[in-house]
A and B are shown apart, each in its own frame.
Chain A
Amino acid sequence: MGKHQRFIEKLIHGIFLLLGLVTVGCVLLITVYLILSGIPAIRQIGLLDFLLGDTWESTAKEPSFGILPFILTSVYGTAGAILFGVPVGFFTAVYLAKLAPAKVKSVVESAVSLLAGIPSVVYGLVGMLVLVPGIRALFHVPDGASLLAAMIVLSVMILPSIIKVSVTALEAVPKEYEDASLALGATPIETYFKVSAPAAKSGVAAAVVLGVGRAIGEAMAVMMVSGNVPNMPALFQSVRFLTTAVASEMAYSGGLQRQALFSIALVLFLFIMLINAALNFFLKRDKEG
């Protein structure tokens, strides 16, 4: 190999290395920007007052910036979405991976991909026109725009990711496990739930965590159905999420209010990082186990 050619090889290696590092650069960029723009307001308001304050009046003469209602709403809303979305998603996944005839499977799977492909704005729009009046009529509450409406919308929105990841995990369970169970006299259904599902538990856990991440990060759909008032969360109360707090005031904001919105984004980002770490943990265990 000539000197010239060796140089070119090195150069190309370097270029690919750079391209590989772009991803890392992007993550760093996002982290640095969020921290830099999120810290000033927290400093000015005080970390505890910011995180644990229960009133948000960003435009009042004497503004208060407490985001506890947003944090709790995001946590409750996500928990509610998981409570409904995970069982439905899990059972659908077992059905698809193990029981469904090929034709049915392909139909249901395309329905699931379609759910995944619907823009979140459409979920919000349908929720606003169908779900909100529906909740009002069904539960005899004054207004249907509420935490419950947001939970239902979110649970439908996370279904596709839960189903897809769980199906992949369930299909990866070695056939020998199931054969052994069947040979011991267990029925197929018992085998799926008592052998296959436990064997795929890391993958299913990853699916749940992925769902949590999707739910906590959703903004546009919940903004249209949750009423958007910074109340402490309750099922039929009008509430504001971390995401919607940022989205609804960003356009109009200025000064400390704007900085505080960046601080909210930073808090949301920290939540997401925690969730990512959890996801990575489960995926890794899945690979090794």
Chain B
Amino acid sequence: MKKKTQKLLGLVMAAAVAASMLAGCSRKLSGTVATDGSTSMEKVIGALGEAFMEQNDGVTFTYNPTGSSPGIQAVQEGSCDIGLSSRALKEDEKNSGLTETILALDGIAVIVHPDNPISDLDVDTIARLYTGEITNWKDVGGNDAPVVLIGREAGSGTREGFESITDTKEKCQYRQELTSTGNVITAVAQNPDAIGYASLASLDDSVRALTVGGVAPSEETVKDGSYAIQRPFVLVTKTDAKLSEAAQAFFDFATSADAAPLISKAGAVAAN
């Protein structure tokens, strides 16, 4: 009798396991999630994608680091599921049937060589430096040396963000226009008189971030808005088209509270 109940119990348990496995299988996601866009979002989106793939091993996640505008274009053309933009969408982009979802906020750090004695500038002074109104560090309390302006190429989301906040659009007198965040950091690290701007998420020890108007760039100051030079990281989707199941799952995951620690580990500030 005892044996029989044991057998029965075993059978029931096996059935339960099988059922749960079946259920698990039917819920298992498959397919691909293609993202395309901002190079500044590489770290954030890379971490999210990797974590997402670890949770759903039937899904392939791809990220093409092309730049904000091409990413937006790619969503429109339907060549990717989710576009990544490191600037807010423009009016005409929204009108053309795209929706933006703010994923995170990113501070744009103003960086100098570690040997530069300057440690604080306000937004107005930064603008005057970049427009060429001030050309020598001694005018802002530094060494007697020419200011070397390093920036990004036209079309970069970081440049767009920096120039619109400092109100220096089309007026910057760049000495170098480099094509990636890494190159800007390298160039500034090589030149004691250089000043540059780069995503806060990407900084390393080879350069020093200035405080802007007395506020140091950090997760807190970006989140509460006291650090002035910041921009959103945006997920771009089509307004009227439904995402594929896998893409929707990624979208939900990325904007969930679970993703927040990953985003902050990648150096940005989660919006949710």
Partner of A143, one of B66, B68, B176, B183: B176
**CA–CA, A144 and B147, complex, Å:** 13
CB distance from A25 to the nearest CB of B (A): 28
Chain A residues near B68 (CB-CB < 8 A): 252
Given contacts A142-B148, A145-B176, A251-B70, whether A133 and B191 have CB atoms under 8 Å apart is yes
> Is the pair B153, A57 in contact by a Cβ cutoff of 8 Å?
no
Task: Give the contacts of B134-185 with A (CB-CB under 8 A).
Answer: 145-148, 153-156, 170, 174-179, 183
A143 with B175, Cβ < 8 A, contacts A60-B170, A129-B190 known: yes
Question: Which residues of B lie under 8 Å from residue A223 when comparing CB positions?
Answer: 179
Beyond A143-B191, A145-B187, whether A57 also contacts B148 by CB under 8 A is no
B153 contacts which of A136, A224, A249 (Cβ < 8 Å)?
A249
- Please report the total number of B residues contacting A with Cβ < 8 Å: 28
Select which of A136, A229, A249 is within 8 A of B174 by beta carbon.
A229
Bound CA–CA A223/B174 (angstroms): 15
| Contact, CB under 8 Å: B153 / A228 | yes
How near does chain B come to A64, taking the closest CB pair, in angstroms?
11
Chain A residues with CB under 8 A of B237: none
Contact A143 B148 (CB under 8 A): yes
In the complex, which residue of chain B has the Cβ closest to the Cβ of A60? B170
Task: Give Cα A251–Cα B154 distance, bound, in whole angstroms.
Answer: 10
B194–A228 touching, CB < 8 Å: no
A129-B186 Cα distance, complex, nearest whole Å: 8
Count A-B pairs with CB separation below 8 Å: 78
Q: Does A254 count as interface, using CB distance less than 8 angstroms?
A: yes
Q: Say if the beta carbon of B219 comes within 8 Å of chain A.
A: no
The 8 A CB mask of B171-211 against A (1 = contact, 0 = none) is: 00011111100010011001101100000000000000000
Measured in the bound complex, the distance between the Cα atoms of B183 and A249 in whole Å is 15
Contact B155 A253 (CB under 8 A): yes
Tell me which of B154, B170, B176 contacts A227 (CB under 8 A): B176
Please name the residue on chain A nearest to B177 by beta carbon.
A228
> Hey, which chain B residues are within 8 Å of A103, CB to CB?
none
List A residues 242-280 near B (Cβ within 8 Å). 248-249, 251-254
B230 contacts across to A, CB distance below 8 A:
none
CB of A37 within 8 Å of the partner chain: no
Min distance, Cβ B167 to any Cβ of chain A, angstroms? 14
User: A57 contacts which chain B residues (CB < 8 A)?
Assistant: 170
Complex alpha-carbon distance, A287 and B143, angstroms = 63
B69 within 8 A of A: yes
B67 at the interface (CB under 8 A from A): yes
Cross-chain contact B155 with A128 (CB below 8 angstroms): no
User: Which residues does chain A contribute within 8 Å of B66, judged by CB atoms?
Assistant: 251-252
Task: Specify the chain B residue showing the minimal Cβ separation from A133.
Answer: B190
What residues on A are CB-neighbors of B62 within 8 Å?
none
- Given A59-B155, A228-B178, A254-B70, 9 more pairs with CB closer than 8 A: A128-B183, A142-B148, A145-B176, A228-B177, A229-B175, A229-B176, A238-B174, A249-B155, A252-B153
The 7 closest A-B CB pairs, nearest first, are A252-B155, A59-B154, A142-B146, A227-B176, A252-B67, A143-B148, A228-B177
Residues of B within 8 A of A (CB): 66-70, 73, 145-148, 153-156, 170, 174-179, 183, 186-187, 190-191, 193-194
